[in-house]
Structure 1
Amino acid sequence: MNEKDFIPLPYTKTLENGCFTWSAPSNIALVKYWGKTGIQIPANPSISFTLDACKTITTLAFEKKENSGKYSFDFLFEGQPKESFHPKIEKFFDVIQQYVPFIKNYHFTIDSRNTFPHSSGIASSASGMAALAMCLMSLERELNPEMTHVHFYRKASFLARLGSGSACRSVKGEMVVWGEHDEITGSSDLFGVEFDGEVAHIFKNYQDTILLVDKGEKQVSSTVGHGLMNGHPFAQQRFTQAHANLSKLKKALAEGDINAFIEVVESEALTLHAMMMTSLPYFILMKPNTLEIINKIWQYRQKTGVPVCFTLDAGANVHVLYPQQYASEVLEFIKAELLVYCQNNQYICDQIGKGAENL
């Protein structure tokens, strides 16, 4: 498929007004994407766990208006007007308007809220853009009732990607691949696809306890960080490594090889931050407490044999990953030894989820 496949034919129906509500979850990448080309095209493939509890719920109300050639919308966050979000939504509409030309024919009221605490250090761009994309696609499906189920979800992921790259992995669940990879059927740079490989029982219902180490604004945004991969001295080796690690992870998932899983996931997390530390300009998003937690996890795993591991996003927070069968002892360990390194002792318990949901 290419971008032109998402430009619609003339719509067969009209709709005066209405509203749709969708929830979309956050996701955590196991093999990381860092670096992009063109309009949100990943420089390497990635695979993620779709989360369950950390999600954005968005209601899109719409009313027909005359096409003035301009966008018309109000944005509310948790029921209150949020003017600071307007430029981001306007930019998103600019990028997607050729694929959803109806957006200039309506006035929209976008009301969004997160199930996780505001400013908790959990990135909401993925869940937020995915939820908004699902609402827009629900409207387009009303205008074009012949749309197939497959096209609906692919295009929703495609639109979400144009708002925030990783948002394309928040449309479906339980594991999603974004970016072309030789061993993943149907994989694409344009949208996320559900991982089609075999997954052993040990990896079902995987748990993710998110330790909120630092809730402040990052010193370097992800957008800037991705851009610094252009001309990075280790970029090509990194992209090659990501392809190889996705192959290793696919094998580990099929064979139930949790040690290989841990090795890939932790190596990917540290490599992501190594790329930040070796770019020009260089920067560090981990905090001292991030490293304290990592070392505590390593010590606990070596001492007990419990297969708990960590991953990181582009920030200081730590995602503690472990099979459901070890939940009680891992949570006991987290409360006893790790919460002291979290801001205000805050953490969020989550697990693998199913993706976006129509409410």
Structure 2
Amino acid sequence: MIKAISTPNIALIKYWGNRSNELRIPAADSLSMTLDQPSVEVTVDHADQFSVRSFEEDNTERQLTKSELSRIEQHLALTKLFFTRLEMQNAIPASIKVEIHSHIPASIGLASSAAVFSALAEAYAGLAADTRPISRKEISMIARLGSGSASRSVYGGFAAMVVRNDEAYAEQIADENHWKLHDVIIIPSRTPKEVGSTEGHALAHTSPLFQKRLDAIPRRQQECIDAILTKNFEKLQNVAEEDALDMHNVMQTSVPALTYLNDETYRILDEVDELRTDEHLEVLYTMDAGPTVHLICTEAALPKIRAYAAKQSGCHVFEAGVGKGSHLI
């Protein structure tokens, strides 16, 4: 029996659109900060037949949908194929049972799939370790087969997704001790989104703005890396916000249009912009595929950002720091 744990990440340069939907090879590079909470624990073990059980934070069992079960089973099949190409055909048992214990509250705007599939990749690598050690790069590639964003949660601190021809994997830019940033998460709505990220990725190419986005990613990616390595918050703020708004412009001009942000999102953005100007605070905003606003700030700015978030009527608030990525437990 192998047990692994992982957490979500928040992208600073967003992943949107694929070269290959089946293998989740992204259309462009991306970059994220791994969070230190909430976590997902995954246990895998030999079994007579494939099965998956999922449990919520209070240990009540959640019935997975047919689509969710299929996605996990497909990920296992792709993982076995990955090991076969490494001449490790027997690294994974013919059948396994999977148990998932999630501490991620439902619909809070954190990508639980990134935590689940990075933890699964870590566990599968643990099973295969008797054959030969599996590298972090290889674990990130296994994670990507289940969720593109999961590839980056394999690493602590700050990680970049690197796309080279038909290969895609994550690399660590800086570890979790490099820069103590915080993510104050404001959730205006916990209504499940009508179109999930997997379906949304497939629509990215229908936007007339998508190619322009792809052309801009290499510059943004390098600017983001430079900002992190030099701890230049102003530079990080400028490029992260530029990229987030650009991704949502692509979403909104896709066919059909995807509108993930709502009036509350825009209100929060305007107020944060005013707050940081008045108070000279180092805080940036970013949004994934949903109305949730992530306010990433420095230690010095945290008390005022935390106080602002607490005043948001009707919104749920969650807080995380920089985490250390997936690992065995």
CA distance in 2, matches of 1:193, 1:125: 19
Match of 1:194 among 172, 192, 213: 172
Matched, 1:153 2:136: yes
Alignment partners' CA distance in 2, 1:250 and 1:212: 28
Contact 1:176 1:192 survives alignment (8 Å): yes
Instruction: Give TM-score, length-normalised by structure 2.
Output: 0.89
Q: Work out whether 1:55 is the aligned partner of 2:30.
A: no
**What's the CA shift for 1:119?**
3.5
Q: 1:115 aligns with which of 103, 108, 121?
A: 103
Aligned equivalent of 1:30, options 4, 9, 12: 12
Is 303-312 or 107-116 further displaced after alignment? Answer: 107-116
- Deviation beyond 3 Å, 4+ runs, structure 1: 100-107
Which secondary structure does the structure 2 equivalent of 1:129 belong to?
Answer: helix
Structure 1 residue 351 and structure 2 residue 321: aligned? Answer: yes
Asked if 2 retains the 8 angstrom alpha-carbon contact of 1:179 and 1:188, the reply is: no
Contact 1:60 1:108 in 2 (8 A): yes
- Change in Cα spacing, 1:326 to 1:216, as seen in structure 2 (3 Å) is same
In structure 1, give the amino acid aligned to 2:55.
F
Code of the residue aligned with 2:77 in structure 1: it is: D
Q: Is residue 174–residue 355 contact of structure 1 (8 Å, CA) maintained in 2?
A: yes
Separation (CA, whole Å) in 1 of partners of 2:92 and 2:284:
47
Counterpart AA for 1:300: L
In 2: Cα distance, 1:111 partner to 1:222 partner: 24
Percent of aligned pairs with the same amino acid = 26
Corresponding residue for residue 55 of structure 2: 77
> In structure 1, which of residues 116, 137, 155 is the aligned counterpart of residue 125 of structure 2?
137
Higher mean alpha-carbon deviation, 163-172 vs 246-255, is at 246-255
Determine the C-alpha separation between the residues in 1 that align with 2:143 and 2:2: 16
Structure 1: distance between partners of 2:197 and 2:155: 23
Question: Larger radius of gyration, structure 1 or 2?
Answer: 1
Query: Which ranges in structure 2 are unaligned for 5 or more consecutive residues?
Result: 84-88
Q: What per-residue deviation string (whole Å, max 9, x for no partner) do you get for residues 117-168 of structure 1?
A: 13333221110011111111100002x1x42xxx432221111100011110
Task: Count the aligned residue pairs.
Answer: 317
Deviates more, 1:26-35 or 1:248-257: 248-257
SS state of the match for residue 97, structure 2? Answer: strand
Name the CA distance, whole Å, in 1 between partners of 2:230 and 2:183.
21
**Does the 8 Å contact 2:91/2:128 carry over to 1?**
no
Q: Give the whole-Å Cα distance in 2 for the aligned partners of 1:178 and 1:122.
A: 18
TM-score, normalising length from structure 1?
A: 0.82
Q: 1-side partners of 2:76 and 2:328: how far apart?
A: 22
> 2-side partners of 1:119 and 1:320: how far apart?
17
What is the one-letter code of the residue matched to 1:43?
A
Which ranges of structure 1 fall in alignment gaps of 5 or more residues? 1-18, 66-70, 182-186
